[in-house]
Structure 1
Amino acid sequence: MDRSMTRRLAVVDGEGRLLGLLCLKQTRQGFCTETDVLARSGDSRHQAFT
């Protein structure tokens, strides 16, 4: 992800099925959590994770 300067990456299995997503934090010092993503979206569901 550093070499390609991307922050998001789809994870797929050998047949191309989506298994998940990786999201590198803007600081590039770790990966986003579901709580981070929901909080940034304004989604009220993030309350359940905090």
Structure 2
Amino acid sequence: MPKSLSHYSFNDDLTIRNYLALMTCIINPRMTQSKAVKLFEINCKGDKRRK
């Protein structure tokens, strides 16, 4: 019997988090890019902001 999807842990790959942030912006037009980046805890290269 196959294992359920909840059995597998969430893959914390940066590519998946970038994809989810992009989908969030597409689904919710009021979501800005910076809010989506903060929501999924993505640090942009060269970002000088503190957490």
User: Under a length normalisation based on structure 1, what TM-score does the superposition of the two structures give?
Assistant: 0.33
More helix by share: 2
More strand by share: 1
User: Under a length normalisation based on structure 2, what TM-score does the superposition of the two structures give?
Assistant: 0.33
Higher RCO (C-alpha under 8 Å, 6+ residues apart) = 2
